[in-house]
Amino acid sequence: MRSVNYQPNNKVSLLESGVELFPALLAEMDAAQHEIHFETYIFADDDTGKAVEQALIAAGRRGVKVRVVIDWFGSGNTQCRRLKAAFAEAGVFCRIFNPWFKKGVTRTHRKITVIDRKVAFVGGINVNDDYLCDYDPHKRLPAPRWDFAVRVVGPLVADIHREAQAQWARVGHMGILRRLDLFREMKRDGPVAGSGPMQAGFVVRDNLRNRRTIQRAYLQAIGRARHSILMANPYFAPGRKFREALGRAAERGVKVTLLIGVGEFKLQDMVAHSFYPKLLGCGVTVVEYQKTQLHAKVAVIDEDWATVGSSNCDGLSLFLNQEANVVVRDAGFARSMRAHIEAGVAEGVIIPCDHFKHVGRFKRAGYEAAYFFYKLVMRIVAIGYA
């Protein structure tokens, strides 16, 4: 399995939810002098979305080259059309990813921003209000949505920038001359000086050369774990290899804790519940987060491995959609990430080991039927899920 390509000398700062991400992001956009690459799944028409929209428009009007990629399904046709028109008027270039499913069911679920090739933001946070539900913008959450992103400065920014440029080329309809110009622009990416203490890698999942990259990064880290695995994920429905890797880690004495979001989609909850008996039987601790919408896709393994990104641990993220994660090898960053996840675990509900002894036969059958249906759909739309 191909290893993560780590770059040394980075400074990676953890940002919790939109309350920390958007002030930092808007400040960097306001200071941009040359170029902004911006990609998101949801670009909502709320106060948060309008603030980001106005920052991108202001940058375009002062001569910054701004390229925006928005997912059509995540943001909606009406919003995509409105944004594209508003951006065009300000000289901002905007492309819509896979409108009307013309190129199949794949979505871009990534959240990436690169500014002046000097600073990048990567994570799971969409452009929407922390208090408004992702799938129902009229539903107010009981507490801010729980999610994370990172701000990156250092050599890793060049890797993120190259991927942002490549995505821009893939999404658009560019002639040969324009593609050659973009290729020359990508080749101008030189090494970015860094003075940070961290080794970090950028891993993406697509349906070309990087079909299993994010899952491999997880599996390698899980396979090498010696002490602890702490994961938070809203939609837990990975394939058999991933689940078995977690079970084997627990059986060899690694403390494995899964913090799982529940309460959004009943079918998703039922699929996750179908995995609980085997996971609990192997010694995995399963905790359900019910305080608010859990949207974080983060993990810490042992003392110095951590990841933050857009990839859920389910079939859609691991085998179908385009995703992006940052992996950090640094003890200080891992401690910070661990503290956040442990705080989430403290607010969750631990599933007892004997929980399923009290679950009725018909309910268990419902869980198994939900998983069978989910697996069937994933095998049709996402090659590789098992």
| Three-state SS at 151 | strand
220 pLDDT more than 90 = yes
Q: What is the mean pLDDT of residues 33-55?
A: 98
The strand pairing partners of 10, in sequence order, are 198
pTM for this prediction:
0.94
The strand pairing partners of 201, in sequence order, are 327
Give the class (CATH, top level) of 7-198. Answer: alpha beta
Higher per-residue pLDDT: 248 or 191: 248
Residue with tokens 């991927």, as numbered in its chain: 163
1 pLDDT more than 50 = no
Residue 271 tokens, joined: 């699929």
Q: Among residues 171, 222, 217, 170, which one has the least CA distance to residue 324? A: 217
- Supply the pLDDT for residue 266: 92
| Cα three-residue angle 140-19-202, rounded to 5 degrees | 110
* pLDDT band, very low/low/confident/very high, at 103 (cuts 50, 70, 90): very high
CB 113 within 8 A of CB 37: yes
Taken in order 329, 333, 334, 335, the sign of the CA dihedral is positive
Q: What is the pLDDT of residues 63-95, one digit of tens each?
A: 999 999 999 999 999 999 999 999 999 999 999
Q: Which residues fall within 8 angstroms of residue 205, CB to CB, at 6 or more apart? A: 211, 212, 213, 214, 215, 311, 317, 318, 321, 322, 323, 324
| Three-state SS at 120 | strand
Q: 228-233 and 255-261 as β-strands: parallel, antiparallel, unpaired?
A: parallel
Q: What is the largest CA-CA distance in the chain?
A: 66
Q: What percent of the chain clears pLDDT 70, i.e. is strictly above it?
A: 94
What topology does CATH give the domain 204-381?
Endonuclease; Chain A (3.30.870)
Q: What is the mean pLDDT of residues 87-109?
A: 97
Residue 201 tokens, joined: 């890698």
Distance from C-alpha of 16 to C-alpha of 257, rounded to nearest angstrom: 20
Distance from C-alpha of 293 to C-alpha of 346, rounded to nearest angstrom: 16
- Supply the pLDDT for residue 135: 84
In this structure, which amino acid lies at residue 63?
G
- Supply the pLDDT for residue 356: 79
Distance from C-alpha of 358 to C-alpha of 354, rounded to nearest angstrom: 8
Q: Which residues fall within 8 angstroms of residue 37, CB to CB, at 6 or more apart? A: 67, 112, 113, 114, 115, 161, 164, 165, 168
Q: What is the pLDDT of residues 260-309, one digit of tens each?
A: 999 889 999 999 999 999 999 999 999 999 999 999 999 999 999 999 99
- Supply the pLDDT for residue 354: 85
Residue with tokens 């991933």, as numbered in its chain: 242
Alpha carbon distances (Å) from 34 to 24, 63, 173, 351? 18, 8, 23, 51
* End-to-end alpha carbon distance in the chain: 18
What are the residue numbers of the active site?
109, 111, 116, 295, 297, 302
Q: Where are the alpha helices (DSSP H) in the chain?
A: 17-31, 47-61, 72-75, 77-89, 156-171, 176-187, 213-224, 240-251, 266-282, 315-319, 331-346, 361-381
Q: 349-350 and 323-329 as β-strands: parallel, antiparallel, unpaired?
A: unpaired
Q: 298-301 and 305-309 as β-strands: parallel, antiparallel, unpaired?
A: antiparallel
Q: What is the mean pLDDT of residues 319-332?
A: 97
Residue 164 tokens, joined: 């942002």
198 pLDDT more than 50 = yes
CB 151 within 8 A of CB 13: yes
Residue with tokens 């801010």, as numbered in its chain: 144
Residue 257 tokens, joined: 């804790």
Residue 284 has φ and ψ, to the nearest 5°, of: -75, 135
Q: Identify the weakest region by mean pLDDT among 35-49, 261-275, 350-364.
A: 350-364
- Supply the pLDDT for residue 137: 83
Ramachandran class of 91: left when φ > 0, alpha when ψ lies in -120 to 50, beta otherwise? left
Alpha carbon distances (Å) from 13 to 36, 152, 176? 20, 7, 39
Q: Among residues 300, 282, 281, which one has the least CA distance to residue 233? A: 300
Helix 240-251 / helix 213-224 crossing angle, nearest 10 deg: 10
What is the chain's mean pLDDT, rounded? 93
Which residues make up the CATH 3.30.870.10 domain(s) of the chain?
Answer: 7-198, 204-381
